[in-house]
Amino acid sequence: MSLSYRLTLAGPITTDQLAERAFPDQAERPSGSGPTLSADLNETHGFAVAVRSGRNGYVDAGTDDGDWEWEPDPFAAISFDIDDDIDREQLAVNLVTVVQRVLLSGPEDAAFVINGDYLLIGRFNGQVTKHSHEKWWSYYPAADAMIIG
């Protein structure tokens, strides 16, 4: 089964700004022309990424408290497409490392969602909340220790 993750931020953030915050090492940073930047980081991180920004964003996901919708406008997002051959614990650490960099480098409201279906991390009004999604965090204790919330 293929997995995908997406980190969405609210606010007027450009793709270049978000790529720099998420991947400070120039060699890893997504690049390209047009509205989407991309990078194949499968060998080093276990995922490929696409970074885009725009208007009229939409996130629909389940949370520990039920269904949830969010419509950030404007927005910026990083999509992660997962390589099935990587160790899942290391993958979780790699994903959460990128999310943590973004959260620590700006104040925006944010949502980190698995498979477009379930909210794993939300930050709204400065408050970070981890959602359990069938105990996702308990499967990846190293990633769990990285995010306080």
pLDDT of residue 116: 85
107 pLDDT above the threshold of 90? yes
pLDDT of residue 14: 95
How would residue 98 be classed by pLDDT, with cut points 50, 70 and 90?
very high
Structure tokens at 31: 């690049």
pLDDT of residue 147: 82
How would residue 52 be classed by pLDDT, with cut points 50, 70 and 90?
very high
DSSP 76: E
Residue 81, CB half-sphere, CA atoms under 13 Å: how many? 8
CATH number at residue 47: 3.30.310
- 74 φ, ψ (degrees, to nearest 5): -75, 180
pTM: 0.95
Separation between Cα atoms, residue 39 and residue 33, nearest integer Å:
12
How does the average pLDDT of the chain come out, rounded?
92
Q: What average pLDDT does range 7-24 have in this prediction?
A: 97
pLDDT of residue 33: 81
Q: Which of 78, 57, 73 is nearest to 121 (CA)?
A: 78
Instruction: Evaluate whether 89 touches 142 at the Cβ level (below 8 Å).
Output: yes
Q: Which of 2-6, 15-19, 129-133, 145-149 has the highest mean pLDDT?
A: 15-19
Containing structural domain, residue 60: 4-146
Structural domains in the chain (count): 1
